[in-house]
A and B are shown apart, each in its own frame.
Chain A
Amino acid sequence: MKLELSAEQQMIQAMAREFADSAIKPIAAEIDRDARFPHETVKRMGELGLMGIAVPERWGGSGADAVSYVVALEEIARACASHAVVMSVNNSLYGDPLLRYGTDVQRERFLKPVASGHTHGCFALTEPQAGSDATNQATLAVRDGADYIVNGRKRFITTGRESSFALVFCQTDRAEGHRGISAFVVEKGAPGFTVGKTEDKLGIRASDTAELIFEDCRVPAANRLGDEGQGFKIAMTAIDGGRIGIAAQAVGIAAGAYERSVAYARERKAFGVLIGQHQMVQWMLADMATAIDGARLLTLRAATLKDGGRPYRTAAAMAKLFASETAMKVATDAIQVHGGYGFIREYEVERAFRDAKVTQLYEGTSQIQKLVIARDLLGDHDGRA
């Protein structure tokens, strides 16, 4: 077993780190406070090729692999979790299914501009009543000649306001339950498609989380991704990959908080010595470093399986579960290491604490990850997640 990144992967990691340190880190606290979408830096991420990392060049992407995606995403998240989630959704939840299930015509129209970073795509599965229970879709798409008429609401859609394209999951045959779900690409500006309110969130505040509203929205049948009834499988496959991205984001959030804690332990004195010399602080730092490495290795394993064309659903769920739990624990302990200062915005570990929470919630809560893992262990998957 070889635990070493290739020369290209190392260069991608170094580039992402330098960019994150010089361009993202200086604005991260401010855009979090103002809940402002960072158009300028996200655009630059597109120019650098970070918005379609594993998409082939032919379709506007960078032609790299999932491991490169993971190492780059960790570096971005280390500086700012909001940038990281925008990158993750664009790559995993929008780009990957378009590449996997799209026709060449669809890839040309709907993937190329997104993978090249010129615009964004979002993934609209969640509804007010359908979060973890994603099979319970209420949005309807009814065939009408060469079109479908879509009605319904999607909630908590990352990059929903800023995206030019939405991958929307709808019931096309209610009697079939989750086997009656189909996927459609809906373009911004389509009549009947509006963006509702943008949520005011605890964390990842610089990314926009919006409601999408469809009222008699006419969508050409040519915009349907895959076959009728294939939508749920498309969604679950996308989320399996997305979980690798969220795992990397969680590792990055944890690594950022950990690094701040180490630096603080080296400069802050208490009882006449640096706090890093107190065994109880050492204990926390050692636990943090160990958990982060474990989470990182699980994440890289899932990405390596994906790159190798091997099954990765369980590995991705394990990586996402462990990394997000690690991020929350590490961010909590990072505040503890900082003491009262950790509770103050200026020290920035409180941002990691707020950002970490969502990694336990989106793209499947920690409880859903355990369900996925257990179902795989017990051979009881039935095509569901």
Chain B
Amino acid sequence: MKILVTIKQVPDTATQVKIAADGKTIDPTGITWIVSPYDEFAVEEALRIKEKRGQGEVVAVSLGPDRVKEALRSCLAMGCDRAIHLNDPAWAAADTLVTARALAKVIEQESAQLVLCGRQAIDDDMGAVTAQLAELLGWPCAYWIMEETIDADAKSVRAARQVEGGLEVFDLPLPAVLAAQKGLNEPRYPTLKGIMGAKKKEIKDLKASDLGGAVEPPQLSVVGLQALPPRPPGRIIQGDVPTAVKELVRSLREDAKAI
């Protein structure tokens, strides 16, 4: 069975994000780029499905500039068989829908039977591409999955998604789109052999023209980015205990309106 995993390259979680001079983008200086952690769960699950079935192919696909090759290379090092890089200035302003349209075309071209995504990318936290993909493809979709089992004939998948206080279990006919939640698995480290072997694996570059048709303009555009306001400093209430407690209760009630 052919499984396609969609990847987004995002700033490392430890990055101190700074807004660029244009006020609409982040300043890329000094950023370490990584595969979005939820996407790593998706890669891991795809590899486990392939290993369990003893056959199949796992293809990582990502849309973005040249640097995205590094993220795809990491996926190859983890064990993906090959990768596809959607790399074209025409997609520079892509929103989730433009991205989903391009990815949907690749999925059709590849005739994938299962698409795995992360539940959201950890940069802008939109979490929209999975649903948009399913809609464009006309496939069923389950978000926030914690478990999955594919039946022996690869006709359907049973997926358990995280809901408040428990799991909601669905049977979805294949092909389908699943979005991975943390807890689905523990992603493996790439082995040295995997890393050394990754450079021998194919990363196919695709332009917008390779997918047929022009890129539609994005529906969403960023108007501006704002940094979070700095956290106000804490306040130490002075005085003996009875006075201080009185003041604390007053302040919680009147200033913070917390009680």
Give me the interface of A with B, judged by CB distance under 8 Å. Answer: 7-8, 11-12, 15, 18-19, 47-50, 53, 57, 62-64, 68, 72
CB pair B70–A48 under 8 Å, yes or no, is: no
Contact of B193 among A11, A18, A19, A57 (CB under 8 A): A57
Residues of A with C-beta under 8 A to B74: 11
| Nearest Cβ on chain B to A327's Cβ, whole angstroms | 25
Contact A49 B70 (CB under 8 A): no
Cross-chain contact B189 with A18 (CB below 8 angstroms): yes
Please tell me if the beta carbons of A63 and B193 are within 8 angstroms of each other in the complex: yes
Inter-chain CA distance A64–B192, complex, in Å, is 8
Residues of B bordering A, CB below 8 Å:
70, 73-74, 77, 189-193, 195-196, 198-199
CB-CB under 8 A from B191, the residues of chain A are: 47-49, 62
- Return B195 CB to nearest CB of chain A, in Å: 5
Total contacts A-B at CB 8 Å: 44
Contact of B195 (CB < 8 Å), options: A11, A18, A19: A11
Q: Is the interface of B mostly helix, strand, loop or mixed?
A: helix
Contact B189 A15 (CB under 8 A): yes
| Contact A48 to B189, CB < 8 A, known contacts A7-B70, A8-B199 | yes
Selected A-B contacts with CB under 8 Å, 10 pairs: A11-B190, A11-B195, A12-B195, A15-B195, A48-B192, A49-B192, A49-B193, A53-B192, A62-B193, A68-B192
Taking CB atoms, residues of chain A closer than 8 Å to B73 are: 7, 11
The reply to whether A8 and B189 form a contact with Cβ atoms under 8 Å apart is: no
Q: Is the interface of A mostly helix, strand, loop or mixed?
A: helix
CA distance A298 to B193 in the complex (A): 27
Contacts of A11 in B (CB 8 A): 73-74, 77, 190, 195, 198
| Bound-state Cα–Cα, A57 to B193, Å | 8
Question: For residue A49, which residues in chain B have a CB less than 8 angstroms away from its CB?
Answer: 191-193
How far is A72 from B196 in the complex, measured between Cα atoms in Å?
Answer: 14
**Nearest-Cβ distance from residue A134 to partner chain B, whole angstroms:** 32
State how many angstroms separate the Cβ of A167 from the closest Cβ of chain B: 23
Q: How far is the CB of A266 from chain B (nearest CB, A)?
A: 14
- CB B27 to nearest CB in A, in angstroms, measures 22
Measured in the bound complex, the distance between the Cα atoms of B191 and A238 in whole Å is 25
Q: A50 CA to B189 CA in the complex, in Å? A: 12
Contact A15 B190 (CB under 8 A): yes
Which residue of chain B lies nearest to A50 when distances are taken between CB atoms in the complex? B192
CB A236 to nearest CB in B, in angstroms, measures 28
Chain A residue nearest to B69 (CB atoms) is A7
B83 to chain A, nearest CB (A): 14
Closest to A68 in B: B192
Q: A69 to chain B: closest CB distance in Å?
A: 10
Give 14 A-B pairs besides A11-B77, A15-B192, A62-B196 with Cβ atoms closer than 8 angstroms.
Answer: A7-B73, A11-B73, A12-B192, A12-B195, A48-B191, A49-B191, A53-B192, A57-B193, A63-B192, A63-B193, A63-B196, A64-B192, A64-B196, A68-B192
Alpha-carbon separation in the docked complex, A57 to B195 (Å): 13
- B257 CB to closest chain A CB (Å) equals 33
Interface centre among A15, A68, A72 (most CB of B within 10 A): A15
Q: What's the Cα separation between A100 and B195 when bound, in Å? A: 24
- A19 and B189 contacting across the interface, CB-CB below 8 Å: yes
What is the distance, in angstroms, from A117's C-beta to the closest C-beta of chain B? 10
Q: Which residues of the other chain, B, contact A12 by a CB distance below 8 angstroms?
A: 192, 195
| CB-defined contacts of B198 to chain A, threshold 8 Å | 8, 11
Q: What's the Cα separation between A50 and B193 when bound, in Å?
A: 10
Contacts of A63 in B (CB 8 A): 192-193, 196
A62: B residues at CB distance < 8 A: 191-193, 196
Minimum CB–CB distance from A34 to chain B (whole Å) comes to 26
Which 9 pairs show the lowest CB-CB distances between chains A and B?
A49-B192, A62-B192, A49-B191, A11-B195, A48-B191, A15-B189, A63-B196, A49-B193, A62-B193
Query: How long is the Cα–Cα vector from A268 to B193 in the complex, in angstroms?
Result: 43
Name the CB-closest residue of B to A12. Answer: B195
| Residue in B closest to A116 when the chains form the complex, CB atoms | B193
Residues of A within 8 A of B190 (CB): 11, 15
Q: A18 vs B199: C-alpha distance in the bound complex, in angstroms? A: 21
Contacts of B70 in A (CB 8 A): 7
Least distance between A22 CB and chain B CB atoms (Å): 9
Complex: A63 Cα to B77 Cα, angstroms: 14
In the complex, the chain A residue whose C-beta lies closest to that of B74 is A11
The docked-state distance in angstroms from the alpha carbon of A42 to that of B74 is: 23
Which residues on the B side are within 8 Å of A15 (C-beta)? 189-190, 192, 195
| Residues of A with C-beta under 8 A to B195 | 8, 11-12, 15, 64
Question: Whole-angstrom distance between the alpha carbons of A11 and B199 in the complex?
Answer: 12
Distance in Å from the Cβ of B188 to the closest Cβ of chain A? 9
Residue of A8, A11, A12 with most partner-chain B CB within 10 A? A11
Residues of B within 8 A of A8 (CB): 195-196, 198-199
Q: Which residue of B lies closest to A11 (CB)?
A: B195
How far is A295 from B32 in the complex, measured between Cα atoms in Å? 25
Q: Report the bound CA distance from A18 to B192 in whole Å.
A: 13
Q: Which residues of B contact A48 (CB under 8 A)?
A: 189, 191-192
Give A11 to B74 CA distance when docked, in angstroms: 8
Which residues of B have CB within 8 Å of A18? Answer: 189
CB-CB nearest in chain B for A65: B196
